Amino acid sequence: MSTTKVSGCSIRPLEYDVFIGLDVDKHSIAATMVDYHGHKKSIKMPNDSTALLNYTRKHFGNKRIAFAYEAGPTGYGLYDNLRAAGHTCLVVASSMVPIQRGSRVKTNRLDSDHLSQSMRGGQLNGIRVPTTIYRELRHLTQLRNMYVRQLSGTKCRIKAMFLMEGLSFPDAPPNSHWSMRVVNELAQLSCSTVIRFKLDRLLETLTFHQQQALMTQRKIRQLCSDDQDLADSIQYLTSLPGIGWIVASNVLAHVGDWRQLHDVHELGAFFGLVPSEHSTGDRISKGSITQAGDPRLRSMIIEAAWSAIRQDQELAEFYHRVYQRHPRDRAARKAIVAVARKLTERMYCVLKERREYIKHPVQGTK
């Protein structure tokens, strides 16, 4: 009998009497109940977990019930309430729900029916629902990333205006184009009244996003330092060459509890750094990386990989070995992704073994 995963565990469909698929939106819940005798019933009710629990208690008594709904904007509140009531609940990634080919009709009722039938057949894999501390960390890292994106966008708008108006941007050494000195020069730049007004508003926006990003970063540090498990995990991740505090906090916010990790290769797959594959028979065909997960976090890890090969000779030699196996036009891209994937394996090891990374000397070096 196949099993269905739930938050890192597995359930056996034969251990349950009723399977309830839920399609949840802002205002309502469409629920379909199925049992092993083929009895099926669909209902619609307000989006209220108390009403759902009262209904199941009234109609199913002491029967063993398993719930499932797709992950979405409604979050994990329903999951928390169902689990608190003693029920099993799967939160399913919509991209991993089996799709019926040829179907041209989609409604909330049909979606809930499909979830209940798939769960009954053991075809659903539940995602790992993060605990409260990791949800809070994710909120904060998302907030900081939003301010950083807004900050970058404001800088681009200022430079685009200078280019359009033929103005010269203040000279500055590398990596200091937005230093306090440069910002002060921009604030005192002589230009027309309208351009001056627009530039002042953009500089105010720039300062605002800088301050908000800094405040959020301090809050993230406070959250991580107040929780010993988070503080330890940050310490272990930052011991890896190339991994800084920002990358480490973003990784933990997305991965969640390290106790739910079970395989050294799963982080690479989670971050979309493994190759796609379409093989049949004796023919093996692998393509570009899957690009699953958060693209911003994947970019962070690849940037960390570039830093890592400058700090770790073992990774540098690995990079060059992969580089030499590919055509020149794509060798660097292939090699750095391979380094990033190896970096995720190191992340797994330090998190699971609860220790800092120790750099080992490469043979032939002192």
The DSSP result for 308-327, as a single string, is HHHH-HHHHHHHHHHHHTS-
pLDDT of residue 103: 73
E strand spans, 182-296: 275-277, 286-289
Q: Are 119 and 68 in contact (CB under 8 A)?
A: yes
Give per-residue pLDDT as tens, 255-280.
999 999 999 999 999 999 998 888 77
Q: Is the pLDDT of residue 2 over 50?
A: no
Dihedral-angle region of residue 175 (phi above 0 means left; psi in -120 to 50 means alpha; beta otherwise): left
Whether residue 297 contacts residue 254, with contact meaning beta carbons closer than 8 Å, is answered with yes
* Position 8 confidence tier, pLDDT thresholds 50, 70, 90: very low
For domain 4-120, is the CATH number 3.40.50.2300?
Answer: no
- Quote the pLDDT of residue 10: 55
pLDDT of res. 176:
86
What confidence category does residue 285 fall into, taking pLDDT thresholds of 50, 70 and 90? confident
- Residue 5: predicted pLDDT: 44
* Domain extents in the chain: 4-120, 132-226, 230-353
pLDDT of 6 strictly over 80: no
What is the per-residue pLDDT for 362?
A: 60
Element (H, E) at 234: helix 228-238
Which of 5, 4, 34 shows the shortest CA–CA distance to 19? 34
CA atoms of 30 and 18, how far apart (whole Å): 16
Q: What is the mean pLDDT of the segment spanning 145-173?
A: 95
